[in-house]
Structure 1
Amino acid sequence: MSTRLTQRVRRSTLALIGTATLALLLPVTSATAAALDRSTDRTATAAPVDVFMKDHPSDVGIQPHGLSPIWASPDIKVCPTAVECATSQNPIVGQTNYIFIKLRNPGPYGAGGMEQGEIHVYRTTPGGGATWPTHWTEIGWMSVPVYAGVTTVTIPWNGVPGPGHFCLLARWVSPNDPMTFEGPSNSVNTRENNNIAWRNVDSVALSTSGQTEVRPFAIGNVLREPTRNSVVFSEDGAPLRTAGGRLVVDLGPTLFARWVEGGMAGKGIREAGRNRVEIVDPGQASLDNLMLRGNERLTMRLLFTATNPVEKPIAVMVTQFGPDADGKDWADLGGVRYDVTVSKQDR
């Protein structure tokens, strides 16, 4: 049976079960029997509901899908004011920011009728391997009607904590449009549910003065048993070297010791001091054989510098790969796209 047909059958079955339960609870009279008959008729003929958010610009709501990456949703945007900005920005620490979420109706399994539900937004440390719901903190939620077309919801984000760099997760929750699967792996949940969207995009503003911008990056293990993982570096578009850029990873004592125990495996890298590794080629580098204990999540630091101004942002992608909860030995467990800009030194 196809995924689409399976989900339609599942949703229809849930609706019929709900009607049957109601019939058992109500006293049976001729009036209520007639009402139940009418209710059953409405349930049987009710149009299916499917509200979705895009995981990727090419996403049309099919669940699951094979698009990648799934952690840079275009339907989640952070802005400093209640007026939607053109492009998502890093939140400003200590003040109210606003999260804009686009809900699309209908998806491939719906008919476009209005649906009432709740949109919930969560945050976690940027990176991969964030266990659901353990590593996620709710920012806010809102009950909202979603009509045919695109509905934009605005969630205030009060008192953003420092350092102001987060992964964001949006979840559409509706009894008539349920999740098809939920487990500990956020990457699996996102692929399996068009009700979930995930955004890990961070801006890194540098100048030719040579200051260092630091970004946290966490890697985690959603399984109960130890796993071996890799952190892979890549570029989308112009390479970081065009800006005279340098990227150094401070693994910290725990992760550095794990990397040494794993044979200091990797490519396109070299040691750069205590607990640090320089990413010599950010376009094709990796830190490999990093052991994580069951349900463990550890954070490293990425240190960016540059010397030459650039006209357009440079995209550096950092992704965790390793075993996932669906049984895959090598899966994208989450990552971050860093949009690096370099301006001339202020005089």
Structure 2
Amino acid sequence: MDLNVSPPLTENRGSSESAADGPRRGMSKTQILTLISMASVNFSSMICYSILGPFFPNEAVKKGASQTVVGQIFGCYAVCNLIGALVLGKYIVQIGAKFMLIAGLFVSSGCTIMFGLLDKAPAGATFIALCFIVRSLDALGFAAAMTSSFAITAKIFPNNVATVLGSLEIFTGLGLILGPPVGGWFYHSFGYEVPFMLLGCVLLIMVPFNIYVLPSIEADPSNDSFFGLLTQIRVVLICFVIFTLSSGLGFIDATLSLFAMKTFNLTSGYVGLIMLGLSLPYCLASPLIGYFTDKYPVTRNAFTVTGGIITAAGFFLLGPAPFFHISSYGC
């Protein structure tokens, strides 16, 4: 099946020219409202992803899930997000960018609330199956929201895509920052259900909010193909970089909390604070890197290579790697 990439968009209000000239003349009302909407989507998607890290692995083990199954529950989110983004990117023309974003948020809010009720499910296969189902539907919802948000942003800010996306990554980082400590604190204070109920209600409130603030946008069909892009070596390398970095993030989410609780006897709240070491630098660095890559395009390859080397070094030290001959505490 030939899947299309996110197609170009056309705004109903006829502000394409103002969108192109906006960065030079100051942002228009349409651009400001779009930024608010996209920021809310980025923030909510990441806080939903990261809130599970400090306490869910331990709860899943209590319900009879092995550490391998816990990793698969985290992994199914990424798999469904990938498949959903490809399929929904093809049909965004028929569905409509704004409707896709709103529907995705609505589905995700319902799934987040349902995930908070899974502690009442019977332990064993029933609990595990429900985790996979709810988590997969949640991923499809956010795939719809994120796919449409990237396409809308690229249309409204065609001349400053890297700067705008880098700035929006502040809210992605904030979601990663607030998710673990807030989730861990609410879990430690009120139990399993409260973090998901609270977050699900916030997402539900965001649905009418985005209906109001997001401009009406229509998508135009495109002849470009996703698999056609994969014939270009540069695109394949970029996909590989994104794949490896995302895999590392998922690996930490599935294993770090169990290791920290077992080895160092930490509570879920402290585990959430440990995870700030990943999300806080990400939040601070993203807008700066986005600005520099827009202003100095020649630095893009350098940032990619340097970032990959630093990330690899961090993972070597996290273990630590056996060839360092460093003894791990408690081992």
**TM-score interval w.r.t. the shorter chain?**
under 0.3
Q: Of the two, which has the highest radius of gyration?
A: 1
TM-score by structure 2 length? 0.22
Q: Which has the higher helix share?
A: 2
Instruction: Select the structure that is richer in strand.
Output: 1
Higher relative contact order, chain-length normalized (CA < 8 Å, sep 6+) = 2
